[in-house]
């Protein structure tokens, strides 16, 4: 016996882990600078670590009040009702809940290319189909309502990412408003704000008071440094009432994750320092890398290095792991996460050497 036809499903290609690469190269993981998954180089908030330690002895019990407390806390933060907050295992979990709540078999979603792979994956898991709109390199990856609407054909869900992964570009608020105004009544626009904390622009969550065809996703994986705990959420229109209760996997957001998220929300200083570190690193990459880069609202920069695979491979052998963006459809580029100052300087030194070598090799060939 076999599973259903999975040929349209593509496996997620994650940034390589430091342990994994260390094993392959016979190096110590501590010697590696991992800048391939947009993780927080400052680690989690110490308050979140303490909360996990405190909660550990009680993990024999299903999470309940922690989930309620986190939901209430997020509702207060964003000035929405608790029913509007869908706490989930990572923002990826929230994307799944939206797919579950919206997609009938063969409903289509519209996703950005290049873009975050999980939108399409989630749609396919839920028997949906996928179409794409282009975030165009020729336009320096500018995001506009017109570019989305050009490809739009009445899809059930339209995904926008702001700041956009892997390019860093931001969808201006007036463009999002235009998109929300322009799509058909049955179309949900999902604004994925996984990197929202790093951007200058405010969240679009407040637009939920005007629009009932918008959902906003956020995560604790990036600025809050809790990627390993898998905790995120969506903020949705008030009218959806009890939909969450019908699509939520019971207890999927776990006790340690909910407790850590609550503690992290109280540690403003950690987030502020995180955002400061990223802003410094973005500038450093833009000024010091010997490759064109694009302005980024996230904790990473996309660099046009000519041959992304060759550069990422060579940098890895020198202990710096960056993301080859071939799987995003950008084979000429690498995406480099913002590290600490030391990591960021090391990454620039190694990348500049490697870019020179790879370019020289290609000229010879």
Ligand X SMILES: *Cc1c(COP(=O)(O)O)cnc(C)c1O
- Rank residues 102 and 310 by Cβ distance to ligand X and give the closer one: 102
Q: Distance between CA 360 and CA 192 in Å, rounded? A: 39
Q: Which residue among 90, 112, 196, 319 contacts ligand X (CB under 6 A)?
A: 90
Stretch that binds ligand X, among 141-149, 203-211, 218-226, 255-263 (CB under 6 A): 218-226
113 touches 329 (CB < 8 A): yes
- Nearest distance from residue 169's CB to ligand X, in Å? 12
Q: Is the Cβ of residue 230 or residue 350 nearer to ligand X in the bound state?
A: 230
- CA distance between the termini of the chain: 50
What DSSP assignment string belongs to 239-298? GGTTHHHHHSPTT-S-HHHHHHHHHHHH-HHHHHHHHHHHHHHHHHHHHH-SS-B---SS
Nearest CA to 159 out of 199, 185, 187, 138 is that of 187
According to the binding rule CB under 6 A, does residue 39 interact with ligand X? Answer: no
Q: Which is nearer to ligand X, 164 or 270 (CB)?
A: 164
Provide the minimum distance between the beta carbon of 192 and ligand X in the complex, in angstroms, as a whole number. Answer: 5
What residues between 150 and 169 interact with ligand X by CB under 6 A?
161, 165
To the nearest whole angstrom, how small is the minimum distance from the Cβ of residue 270 to ligand X? 17
Q: Name the pairing type of β-strands 300-304 and 333-337.
A: antiparallel
- Report 188-207 residues binding ligand X (CB under 6 A): 192, 194
Q: How far is the CB of 96 from ligand X (least distance, A)?
A: 10
Q: Is 44 in the site for ligand X (CB under 6 A)?
A: no
Q: Mask: binding to ligand X, 47-86, rule CB under 6 A, as x and -?
A: ----------------------------------------
279, two tokens: 């802003």
What's the rounded Cα separation, in Å, for the pair 165 and 333?
A: 13
Q: In this chain, which stretch among 88-96, 206-214, 245-253, 276-284 interacts with ligand X, using CB under 6 A?
A: 88-96
Strands (E) across 176-264 are located at: 188-192, 214-219, 232-235
Asked whether the beta carbons of 137 and 113 are under 8 A apart, the reply is no
Q: Does 92 bind ligand X (CB under 6 A)?
A: yes
Q: Which is nearer to ligand X, 63 or 90 (CB)?
A: 90
- Of 111, 69, 82, residue with least CA distance to 245: 82
> Is the four-CA dihedral 162, 167, 168, 171 of positive or negative sign?
negative
Site size toward ligand X, by CB under 6 A: 13
Q: Applying CB under 6 A, which residues contact ligand X?
A: 90-92, 116, 161, 165, 192, 194, 219, 221-222, 227, 232
């Amino acid at each position: 016996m076999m599973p259903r036809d999975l040929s349209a499903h593509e496996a997620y290609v994650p940034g390589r882990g430091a342990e994994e690469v260390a094993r392959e190269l016979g190096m110590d993981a501590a010697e590696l600078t991992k800048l391939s998954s947009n993780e927080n180089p400052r680690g989690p908030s110490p308050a979140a670590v303490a909360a996990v330690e405190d909660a550990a002895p009680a993990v024999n019990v299903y999470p309940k009040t922690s989930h309620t407390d986190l939901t209430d806390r997020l509702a207060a933060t964003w000035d929405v009702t608790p029913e509007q907050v869908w706490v989930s295992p990572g923002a990826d979990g929230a994307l799944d809940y939206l797919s579950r709540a919206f997609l009938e078999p063969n409903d289509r979603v519209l996703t950005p290319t290049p873009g975050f792979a999980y939108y399409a994956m989630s749609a396919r898991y839920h028997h949906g189909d996928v179409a794409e709109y282009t975030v165009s390199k020729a336009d320096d990856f500018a995001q506009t309502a017109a570019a989305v609407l050009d490809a739009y054909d009445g899809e059930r869900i339209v995904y926008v990412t702001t700041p956009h992964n892997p390019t860093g570009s931001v969808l201006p608020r007036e463009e999002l408003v235009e998109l929300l105004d322009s799509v058909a009544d049955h179309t949900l626009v999902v604004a994925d704000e996984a990197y929202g904390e790093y951007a200058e622009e405010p969240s679009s969550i407040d637009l939920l008071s005007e629009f009932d065809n918008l959902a906003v996703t956020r995560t604790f994986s990036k600025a809050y440094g809790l990627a390993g705990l898998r905790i995120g959420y969506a903020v949705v229109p008030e009218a959806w009432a009890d939909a969450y209760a019908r699509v939520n996997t019971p207890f999927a957001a776990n006790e340690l994750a909910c407790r850590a998220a609550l503690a992290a929300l109280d540690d403003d200083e950690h987030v502020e320092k995180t955002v400061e570190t990223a802003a410094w690193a973005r500038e450093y990459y833009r000024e010091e890398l010997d490759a064109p880069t694009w302005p980024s609202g996230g904790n990473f920069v996309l660099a046009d290095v000519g041959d992304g695979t060759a550069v990422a491979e060579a940098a890895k052998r020198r202990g710096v792991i960056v993301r080859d963006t071939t799987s995003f459809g950008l084979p000429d580029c690498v995406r480099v996460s913002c590290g600490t100052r030391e990591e960021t300087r090391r990454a620039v030194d190694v990348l500049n050497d490697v870019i020179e070598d790879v370019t020289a090799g290609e000229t010879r060939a």
